[in-house]
């Protein structure tokens, strides 16, 4: 299974993609997570992407495609299956991905679009907390940790992402509609797009995705 998970910031892409990756043993590639790790490690790439992310702007396509190319080439299980989260985000990235995949004789199985209205996105992102140590994702109201401010998994401190501040959230949404809406049309034209209603509890959204996966696996 080779999947892309698309959707506005905060729609639950990371939450759902991690469940699918665990369940089906897929290579999980989240460009946002990769960039945040590079920033944390203070690498050259981290320095190059930091200001774009802090402003809620997209990182330039060249940098993103290069990162994905390297990850795909170095991953032993990419031929079995993968799930991309937050990539591609521009039509150019989508076309570059097609080229990368055709070079290694692979095709996408499906693109899942998690549909969530903008006002729900704002609620989800403003309440999101992530573990500074292991990256686990929580929500103060929808998915709280057992002990406030502490990760259930590793005991790390829970923090708010820099780009989850209200003014940056608004900009990220604007960028999504300007630059990622065309990616949705691109995959629609290629008959790869499956829409999932992203409202409802995490388990419920996961069940909707499973129903779709069964549908296209049987096509
Ligand atoms: P990235 O990290 O990809 O951020 P994003 O797309 O904005 O998505 P998020 O991680 O914010 O949200 P999500 O949809 O994964 O939701 P989550 O599961 O966490 O990108 C960050 C930045 O990196 C970009 O702005 C850009 O600068 C750069 N970048 C990355 N990729 C790039 C690319 N390809 N090209 C250029 N630039 C790139 O859930 C959100 C919250 O809601 C959580 O608190 C969660 O617990 C909660 N939640 C989840 N599901 C539910 C539910 N069903 N009900 C209630 N709450 C829920």
User: Looking at residues 2-26, what average pLDDT do you find?
Assistant: 95
pLDDT digits (tens, 9 = 90+) for 147-182: 999 999 999 999 998 899 888 999 999 999 999 999
As a whole number of Å, the CA-based R_g of the chain is 17
pLDDT at 219: 59
Kindly state the percentage of the chain with pLDDT values over 90.
84
Q: Cβ of 209: how many Cβ atoms within 10 Å?
A: 20
**Smallest CA separation from ligand 1 atom 17, residue:** 12
Are 4 and 17 in contact, with CB atoms under 8 Å apart? no
pLDDT at 74: 83
Q: Is 210 helix (H, G, I), strand (E, B) or coil?
A: helix
Are 196 and 114 in contact, with CB atoms under 8 Å apart? yes
Crossing angle (nearest 10°) for helices 44-55 and 31-40: 120
With bands split at pLDDT 50, 70 and 90, how would you rate the model's confidence at 77? low
With bands split at pLDDT 50, 70 and 90, how would you rate the model's confidence at 78? low
pLDDT at 3: 96
User: Looking at residues 23-34, what average pLDDT do you find?
Assistant: 93
Q: Active site includes 89?
A: yes
pLDDT at 218: 62
Of 135, 35, 27, the residue nearest 84 (C-alpha)? 27
* Strand ranges, E, within the chain: 2-6, 27-30, 82-85, 110-115, 128-131, 137-139, 158-159, 193-197
With bands split at pLDDT 50, 70 and 90, how would you rate the model's confidence at 95? very high
Distance (Å, whole) CA 169 – CA 171? 5
User: Looking at residues 197-215, what average pLDDT do you find?
Assistant: 94
With bands split at pLDDT 50, 70 and 90, how would you rate the model's confidence at 31? very high
7 lines ligand 1 (CB under 6 A): yes
Are 58 and 179 in contact, with CB atoms under 8 Å apart? yes
pLDDT at 73: 83
The values of phi and psi at residue 131, to 5°, are -80, 125
With bands split at pLDDT 50, 70 and 90, how would you rate the model's confidence at 216? confident
Cβ neighbours for 135, distance < 8 A, ≥ 6 positions apart: 33, 36
Q: Which one is catalytic: 69, 133, 161, 171? A: 161
User: Looking at residues 78-85, what average pLDDT do you find?
Assistant: 83
Q: Active site includes 146?
A: no
Q: Active site includes 172?
A: yes
Ligand 1 centroid–CA 215 distance in Å is: 26
pLDDT at 162: 86
Return the exposure string of 150-162: e unless at least 16 CB atoms fall within 10 Å of the residue's CB, then b.
Answer: ebeeeebebeebe
Are 113 and 6 in contact, with CB atoms under 8 Å apart? yes
pLDDT digits (tens, 9 = 90+) for 104-148: 888 999 999 999 999 999 999 999 999 999 989 999 998 999 999
């Amino acid at each position: 299974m080779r999947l892309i998970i698309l959707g506005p910031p905060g729609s639950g892409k990371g939450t759902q993609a991690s469940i699918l990756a665990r369940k089906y043993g897929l290579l999980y590639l989240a460009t946002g997570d990769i960039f945040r790790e590079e920033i944390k490690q203070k690498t050259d790439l981290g320095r190059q992407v930091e200001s774009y992310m802090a402003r809620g702007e997209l990182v330039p396509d060249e940098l993103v495609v290069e990162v994905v190319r390297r990850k795909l080439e170095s991953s032993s299980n990419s031929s079995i299956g993968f799930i991309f989260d937050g990539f591609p985000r521009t039509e150019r990235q989508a076309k570059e991905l097609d080229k990368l995949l055709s070079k290694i004789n692979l095709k996408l199985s499906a693109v899942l679009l998690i549909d969530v209205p903008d006002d729900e996105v704002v609620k989800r992102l403003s309440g999101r907390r992530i573990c500074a140590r292991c990256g686990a994702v929580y929500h103060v109201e929808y998915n709280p940790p057992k002990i406030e401010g502490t990760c259930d998994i590793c005991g790390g401190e829970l923090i708010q992402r820099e780009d989850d501040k209200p003014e940056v959230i608004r900009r990220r949404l604007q960028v999504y509609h300007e630059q990622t809406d065309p990616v949705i049309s691109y995959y629609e034209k290629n008959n790869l797009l499956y829409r999932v209603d992203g409202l409802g509890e995490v388990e419920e959204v996961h069940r909707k995705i499973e129903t779709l996966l069964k549908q296209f696996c049987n096509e």
